[in-house]
Amino acid sequence: MIDITTTRAVAHETHPPLVIYLMLVTMALISALLIGYGMAGAKRRNWLHSLGYAAVMVCVLYVILDFEYPRFGVIRVDYFDKIMLDLRQSMN
């Protein structure tokens, strides 16, 4: 059981480097630039496509960050915490 708690603590403290997050943001901005360049030749701007792209990118980045920090976002792992708390209660 001690090894499991150590593994869990290390996994909780291990996160991707800042370069990964910067790359995600940079790729989102570059893809937005390319899409804007592609839409520049059109006579009318399609706001639905622009807003749809922005919404999809925001959702994808949010889900990635939410999975990385599960205690702060909407996606929760309370079930696993309950298992650990029940195990701790059984040891007392």
Tell me if the pTM is above 0.85: no
CA-nearest of 38, 73, 32 to 53 is 32
Name the residue with tokens 């630039």.
Answer: 33
CA-nearest of 84, 87, 83, 65 to 74 is 65
Per-residue pLDDT tens, the chain, 92 aa: give them. Answer: 667 777 777 776 777 788 888 888 899 899 889 888 888 888 888 888 888 888 998 888 888 888 777 777 777 766 666 777 777 788 87
